[in-house]
Structures are given as structure tokens and as C-alpha cells.
């Protein structure tokens, strides 16, 4: 898949949000179109004694303070991913130590609109644990109908 067909329009700029040493840099809102893909651009840091092992992405109601296991849309174990997102979400930068948590979601549907939350799983003093960042990106997917209107204008 090429990256040239993603037409995500991110609003304003990305900003850092920190909870002690754990920081995430996300756009608050991203507009996208159904049928195309969207990049959720993201960077993260952890406390220096935390060793990141893998990332988890969730999508859940913004009213929920923390997404749960049933909200997983990206995970190293495919069976943990909601069936509707399997095979549609990929990391842009698989090398975790680069602090890049960006993902691409392809074949966007209007139902993909919603708030996306990041978790990093890893080890703190040798013990398996994880950290879920509070700040989320909200993706607004515009329906296909608008494409037809747009085509008419050409
Ligand atoms: C993440 O990595 C990808 C691929 O290397 C790169 O294109 C993108 O700009 C990076 N994003 C951030 C936020 O660093």
C-alpha cells in the first residue's frame, strides 16, 4: 500500500502531554475520508527506567476514562485485536526505541470515527507492566457521499 492516498488533515499542531516522565505527542483531532487511510501521528517517551516492549492502540468512547481489552485495535497478538480492525492497522516505525508510535489505519469506515488511545507495555525494574497515556487523538471520518459531490465539481 502506498502512503500517497492518505488525505488526513490534522488540526493545529501536535503537542506534548506528560504524566510525570511519560509523555505523548498527538494531534487532538484528525479529519479523514472513508475509503482512504489515515495516519495517527504520534511520539512517546517513558520514564528512563522503563523498557518498552510493545505498543497497544485502543479505540473507545471518549467518555470512558480508560479503554479496555475489548477496545484493542492494534496489538502484537492478532487475536487480541477487534475483528473489524484486524489487518487494517500498522505501525509506521517498528523500532520502538525511536519513540515513534504512529499508526496507519487503512480502508477507513465512518464507524472508525472516535477517540484513539495508546499504551506501552514493557518492563520496569525487570517487572512486566505497562502505561496508558491519557491524551487521545480523535479521528473524524467523513462519509463516501462527499466524494461524489467532490467528483461532480471536477
Ligand atoms: C515515524 O516514523 C515514520 C517512518 O519512519 C516517519 O515517516 C514519521 O515521520 C515518524 N513520525 C514521527 C512522529 O516521528
Tell the residue nearest (CA) to atom 7 of ligand 1. Answer: 92
Domain ranges for the chain, please list them: 2-142
Residue 12 Cα to ligand 1 midpoint, Å, equals 18
99 vs 130: CA distance, rounded Å:
15
Over residues 139-144, the mean pLDDT reads 91
139 vs 59: CA distance, rounded Å:
10
Residue 116 pLDDT greater than 60, yes or no: yes
34 vs 44: CA distance, rounded Å:
28
82-107 per-position pLDDT tens digit: 999 999 999 999 898 899 999 999 99
pTM beyond 0.85, yes or no: yes
70-84 per-position pLDDT tens digit: 999 999 999 999 999
- The CATH architecture one would assign to domain 2-142 is Sandwich (2.60)
Residue 154 Cα to ligand 1 midpoint, Å, equals 33
Amino acid at each position: 500500500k502506498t502512503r500517497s492516498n492518505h488525505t488526513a488533515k490534522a488540526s493545529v499542531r501536535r503537542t506534548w502531554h506528560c504524566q510525570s516522565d511519560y509523555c505523548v505527542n498527538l494531534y487532538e483531532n484528525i479529519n479523514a475520508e472513508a475509503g482512504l487511510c489515515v495516519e495517527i501521528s504520534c511520539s512517546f517517551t517513558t520514564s528512563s527506567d522503563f523498557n518498552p516492549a510493545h505498543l497497544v492502540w485502543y479505540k473507545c468512547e471518549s467518555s470512558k476514562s480508560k479503554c479496555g481489552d475489548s477496545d484493542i485495535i492494534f496489538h502484537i497478538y492478532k487475536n487480541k485485536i477487534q475483528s473489524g480492525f484486524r489487518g487494517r492497522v500498522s505501525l509506521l516505525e517498528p523500532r520502538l526505541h525511536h519513540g515513534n508510535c504512529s499508526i496507519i489505519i487503512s480502508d477507513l469506515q465512518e464507524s472508525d470515527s472516535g477517540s484513539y488511545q495508546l499504551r506501552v507495555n514493557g518492563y520496569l525494574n525487570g517487572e512486566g507492566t505497562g502505561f496508558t497515556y491519557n491524551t487521545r487523538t480523535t479521528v473524524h471520518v467523513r462519509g463516501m457521499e462527499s466524494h461524489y459531490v467532490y467528483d461532480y465539481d471536477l
